[in-house]
Amino acid sequence: MSDPYRLMGVINATPDSFSDGGLFLDADAAVAQAIRLAGEGADILDVGGESTRPGAEPVALEEELRRVLPVVEGIAASLPDGPQISIDTTKAAVARRALESGATLVNDVSAFRADPEMAATVAAAGADCCLMHMRGEPRTMQRGGGPQYDDVVEEVGAFLHERLEYAMGEGIASERIMLDPGIGFGKTAQHNLELLRRLDELVALGRPIVIGTSRKAFIGRVSAAARGREEPAAPSERLGGTIATNVLAFERGARVFRVHDVGPVGDALALAAATLTGRWTARNATTTPRS
């Protein structure tokens, strides 16, 4: 039996990510974090050198390469038989260099829209990829009075279906593609909750759904409201909500979970999987979820 889920550990080699910016900007610190997350059960290590938090500014190509390449190379050298290495980028040049350095998965929050060469780069390398929905771009996605949708699940689903078809048309095998609804990317808290509630509609697209709720602002808002507070809970106080959203998403069919706190979320998912299946066994990491 294939593994019921996979854990994608976040490694932000950035100075300005919303919850851990600056902690892993040093390559040695980032590699040490990768080793720690692998020890906690990460199946994928997702390395990023450009923050995608709301309001984030773009990073120049050479600076992004300077941040991520030593980390990818260090992980590949330190964990040669370890988790799959993912590069979180929208730039084909960064993806190409990372793939040459040991990465085998490209996590593109623009779903191949930001760089016209990205799809060909992934196809040529025979790499896996994750395509995410995002309205606008990080600098603008939460501006203008809040994002508007007639039906957020329907619109996100249509977008992901179109990008899946595009990627396949560019020569990427369907079994190498994962889809991410982009929780928190150009969505309000209510949109995020609606996507989680109706996640089965996105699972019906037939590719593994990636969920990235870890420490996000909507969790802080919901948690604060439940306690009668006006100010959202800080990122360091959002673990409980992160666990809850990932367990709910798993129950609704998501299979890849992008998180900062691999150990606690992994424990929760193990219990959820045992409850739903009546079985508990050691997981064996594979390269890409195939179903």
pLDDT in tens, 70-97: 999 999 999 999 999 999 999 999 999 9
Dump pLDDT digits (tens) for 252-273: 999 999 999 999 999 999 999 9
Dump pLDDT digits (tens) for 235-251: 999 999 999 999 999 99
Tell me, what amino acid is at 104? Answer: T
Q: Look up 258 and say whether it is catalytic.
A: yes
User: How confident is the model at residue 22, as a pLDDT?
Assistant: 54
- Mean of the per-residue pLDDT values for the chain? 91
Q: Look up 283 and say whether it is catalytic.
A: no
Choose, from 97, 135, 221, 258, the residue flagged as catalytic.
Answer: 258
User: Which region, left, alpha or beta, applies to residue 97 given φ > 0 means left and ψ of -120 to 50 means alpha?
Assistant: alpha
6-277 folds as: TIM Barrel (3.20.20)
Residue 85 Cα to chain centre, angstroms = 13
Reported as type and span, the H/E element at residue 263 is: helix 262-277
Beta carbons of 166 and 119 less than 8 angstroms apart: yes
Choose, from 91, 216, 221, 283, the residue flagged as catalytic.
Answer: 216
- The more confident residue out of 175 and 291 is 175
Mean per-residue pLDDT, 173-183: 98
- Write down the residue that tokens 């889809």 correspond to: 179
Domain borders along the chain are 6-277
User: How confident is the model at residue 196, as a pLDDT?
Assistant: 98
Q: How far is the C-alpha of 266 from the C-alpha of 83, rounded, in Å?
A: 15
Residue 189 scores a pLDDT above 50: yes
Give 19's pLDDT tier (boundaries 50, 70, 90): low
Mean per-residue pLDDT, 209-225: 96
User: How confident is the model at residue 219, as a pLDDT?
Assistant: 97
Residue 117 scores a pLDDT above 90: yes
